[in-house]
Structure 1
Amino acid sequence: MPFIDVTLAEGRSPEQLRTLITKLTDAAVEAVGAPRESIRVVLREVPPTHWAAGDVTIAERRAARP
């Protein structure tokens, strides 16, 4: 039973998240031949103020864009 766990910054639409679930499921079916009904997908959304790279949060990067 494949378990796909994805962490991403908040801000995507419900439609985008639904599409991501479908495409990840499709990829697991294709890659490992798992039955569709056995695939689990969890999306974890993190506030952009709680995710940083190089000591700069996503929120700070977004605010600095022109």
Structure 2
Amino acid sequence: MSLNYSANAFSTSPPTAAKDFATKKVKVTEDGQPVMVVRLLAMDGSDSTMIKFNLAGEQHHLVLAAVSKPT
């Protein structure tokens, strides 16, 4: 099976600290790194969708980054 895939993903805002819903405290990993919320806009030329996920550690290098895969 062969898949032709082309998509772009753009950071839509700077990463923000994830917070516990109940306590409103910033979430951290077991080793004390902050958990950051990253939001990307993924586009394939005919459709787009917002992707939100959490990553451990500072993620400032992702701001306004673009990733593209050739077809």
Could you tell me the TM-score, scaled by structure 1's length? 0.23
- Answer 1 or 2: which has greater helix percent: 1
